[in-house]
Structure 1
Amino acid sequence: MKSGQFNTNKSTIRGSREKEVTPKTNWDRVVYLALLSIGVIALSYYLINRNFFVKGDGRVTANEMQVLSPSDIRFQEIFVQPGDTVQRADTLFMFTFIEWQQSMDSLETIKRSLRDASQELNEVQGDLRIKAIELERNSQQLEYYESRISQIKTEIQLGVATVSELKSVEDRLMNLKGELSLIREQQQLLLNKRNRLQRKISSPYGDDGSDIPMNAASMQHIYKSPVSGIVTALYKNESELGLRSERVMAILSVESQIKIKAIFQQKSGKYLSIGDHMNITFDNGAKSKGVITDIYAAEALIDRPTGSQSELEFSIQIVAELKPENPVELDQWKSYNKMGVTVKKTIF
């Protein structure tokens, strides 16, 4: 009898297992959902702002002091620039009145004329000395040739000299007399010129002194600041002319009333009241809070395009004036003078 042998090993099924497939990302769907989300958020933000907030744009304003030209003047020196802090009685600029400036110019002209006259007088004095030397030399030569003519005449009688020699000396004598006459005329002209220059130097402003201008230093005036504050604008430069009452500079006084003026659409007026608290965002990103102190209507000129042309028409807008909710922020508002702002509050 055969002994049976049984295989006690488990049977195995041989084959290959399928790999798991990783699902692919649907990028089109992701982009679509992202854009849809952005659109929904933007639409929600717009609807919320439109239906739950009233919003206006404005600017920080202050009652700046305008420094005006006291008369028709010329600016000599300007000692401040926009942004500088000044105290009451600080010197802002130095100026001269225009008619005084003309006197100063006349004084400078006279000084130059005196310098030129002094230089010319020195030259004339030198020419006079030269002419005096020439006159002395020619006079001596004239005496010599006059005595020589007498000698030649005697020598001719003795047969020692000839008539041609006498003629030559007489011609030389005539030339010397002509030169002496010319030198004397030139000398007299130089003397007259010297006397005129001496009178001009001794009395440069005229015989009666009526043309004597004031001292140049006394013509210069200084303009002092009437208030303490910050220089916000400068409209003139050094050496420039300023006519009476023209703007020279603007100063934001420490006592100036600072406020924000904001403009709203006419339909927003029903949501605004004096005493309302508003959220304020300055153009530089700073935040603040303000209180409405006044509300009034104002006309605005709007350019509305119509086809190929445009028409100008008036529209009513609401202007609200605000002051800081916290008085401590007043200095911050002053530092933001003329800066743009956005003003907003909830409707409900």
Structure 2
Amino acid sequence: MIPPDLRGRRERDPFWVAVNAAFNGIQRFRSLRAPAPPAVRPVDRTMRLTVQEVRREAEDVVSLRLGAPDGRVLPAWQPGGHLDVLLASGRRRQYSLCGDPADRRSYRIAVRRLPGGGGGSVEMHGLREGDRLAVRGPRNAFPFLAHDRYVFLAGGIGITPILPMVTAADRYGADWSLVYTGRSRASLPFLDELPARRVTVRTDDEHGVPSAADLLGDVPAGTAVYCCGPAPMIDAVRAAVRMDATLHYERFAPPPVTGGKPFEVELRRSGRTLPVPADRSALDVIRDVLPDVAYSCRQGFCGTCRTAVLSGDVDDRAPSDQGDDSMLVCVSRAASGRISLDL
């Protein structure tokens, strides 16, 4: 028995000290011989697709069918899904998938040409068969959920996410109807693909600009209302839809700034401080001096414009808010005063 030391502890047994040292030495030797773990590489989820077909669908609207150059099967998608398109200019845009989800060899999107827009639609209209296009996705921020009864509302190019939903509802035997609006019949894409028996077409030149009552009619309780179109149309429907119906909507233009307060945004790397008025987004102001800043949906869900916040409090207005030290400059704002961004 080894006697305890003066503090009441026993001395370490030399035998076990030697065993422990030998064991540690073996472990160190093994670690020196073990191969280094592989470096973690970021996954590139970008697909390089080929434009297989360009087709004129309506005034200023073309559809593009995209497929893999080797004809491989593409990732699956559901009605309401979209692609993030990475253009050669560096612009990023989102376009709803408007083909058949059962077709796993190609994606179809449609684009209305907006000469006074940000340039993305003009660039898309310049594509030809055989051109290559980089895309990411599909992703879905406008999911089509199972219901017994649907009312679909589409304004112009807003038919693109609605079209696969209508097809799915008809295939599943659900009770559904569609009100399709636009400037004129010539401006409405995919009219020939819609079953006429349940579709009401209302054009401004024939019927005038529709009210929310014209669009909704008498919506029965428990109806799922799916709406995609210009901001005034969506705002009118949101205000008028009955409480016992469920409303799902997607904008194809950024929502107007409401309840905004002026603030300053400091672009730390650029060395500039810009005033943001109450009625403009930080993204719009930043693009005045940094036109190449990345953005896509401008509605706060895609995350493309997420920017690190170096100082200041954020008034988060984004559905995809991550609760970290960043903000989506397309919709979120400074809570007060000034905010500093890593731009």
Q: Which has the higher contact order (CA 8 A, sep 6+)?
A: 1
Q: Under a length normalisation based on structure 1, what TM-score does the superposition of the two structures give? A: 0.19
More helix by share: 1
- Structure 1 or 2, whichever has the larger Rg, is 1
Question: TM-score, normalized by length of structure 2?
Answer: 0.19
